[in-house]
Amino acid sequence: MFDGLGSLRFANPVHIDSTHADSLHAAAGHAAGDHAVHELPNLITLVTKFMQDSPLKEFLHQWEGMIYAFAIATLIIVVARLAARNPQMVPGRLQNIVEMVVEGLSNFIVGVLGPEGRRYVPFLGTLFIYILSMNLAGVFPLGKSPTASPNTTVALALCVFVYVHFIGLTRNGPVGYIKHLAGNPKSPVEWAFVPLMLPIHVIGEIARPVSLSLRLFGNVTGEDVLLFAFCVLGVTTLGFVDSPVGIPFQVPFILLAFMTSFIQALVFTLLSTIYILLWLPHEEHGEEHH
């Protein structure tokens, strides 16, 4: 059934009858564990299907999102090491692709932050590649998007939150950091409103990682639910059309998932870049505009 599901996902012929619809529902629900969200079975679901109840099986189901997240991070590290291991003046295919990606991300970030933004390219560029890879992982057969779990997206947003405020504290100093939270008051009237503006700005700073995490989680989860729903629809229609081949209703949404995965990674990175920009000293903003 799992091999058939993988083929069904990519619209290859699958000999399956309508009775497999219930199996697909059960497997997907099993893959989701205790979560209310339905998703397609992944590799861990396939492995644990043949395991007896044990702490290992429970561990794999509970931490499957983190397992995929660490696996994707390891893959990115391996690719980066292979590309940078023996750089050539005439780059090979892998080195050329990696250099194009790095240069594109660098130009994008510097275009927002100005020349000072080059120091933030490693963090923001890695953030984009990691989020994009995790988003796309759920599109492939037996894969899973770790970003479909709020644990992953909250962790990413907290990393951005800590990094942004570290930049704000080190670039502005403790006094400048507090003044920024207070709205950079200058006139006596502005200072009089500090007791009101300071809590508002603090709440706004706290709301940023919440919005980052919920936006990414909601959109990626929506993709998974959509693919699951149309895979099930393709299987359940077999009983009506009396066809031995699965109907690939999900194919257009797979193409859409590729696009939205890229967009969501780009939006997360762009908002993180803007948050950094808002904390940079004002004189740097003036230099960038000049």
Q: Where are the alpha helices (DSSP H) in 87-149?
A: 93-113, 121-137
pLDDT of residue 278 exceeding 80, the answer is yes
Instruction: Answer yes or no: are the C-beta atoms of 39 and 28 closer than 8 Å.
Output: yes
Query: Which pLDDT score, from 0 to 100, does residue 281 have?
Result: 85
d(CA 102, CA 51): 42
pLDDT of residue 90 exceeding 60, the answer is yes
Relative orientation angle of helices 194-236 and 2-9, to the nearest 10 degrees: 110
For the chain, what is the total number of helices (H) and then of strands (E)? 13, 0
pTM, rounded to two decimals = 0.81
pLDDT of residue 34 exceeding 60, the answer is no
What is the pLDDT averaged over residues 46-53? 84
d(CA 258, CA 250): 13
Nearest Cα to Cα of residue 133 among 221, 68, 219: 68
Summarize pLDDT for 52-85 with one digit per residue, the tens: 888 888 888 888 889 999 999 999 999 999 988 8
pLDDT of residue 140 exceeding 60, the answer is yes
Summarize pLDDT for 100-133 with one digit per residue, the tens: 999 999 999 999 999 889 999 999 999 999 999 9
Query: Which pLDDT score, from 0 to 100, does residue 25 have?
Result: 46
Query: Which pLDDT score, from 0 to 100, does residue 282 have?
Result: 66
pLDDT of residue 9 exceeding 70, the answer is no
Instruction: Answer yes or no: are the C-beta atoms of 272 and 128 closer than 8 Å.
Output: no
pLDDT of residue 41 exceeding 90, the answer is no
What would the DSSP string read from start to end of 8-30?
HHTT---B--TTHHHHHHHHHHH
pLDDT of residue 37 exceeding 90, the answer is no
Query: Which pLDDT score, from 0 to 100, does residue 54 have?
Result: 83
Domain boundaries, the chain: 2-289
Quick one: which H or E segment has residue 58? helix 55-62
Summarize pLDDT for 224-265 with one digit per residue, the tens: 888 888 888 887 877 676 666 667 778 888 888 999 999 999
Instruction: Answer yes or no: are the C-beta atoms of 272 and 212 closer than 8 Å.
Output: yes
Give the chain's mean pLDDT. Answer: 82
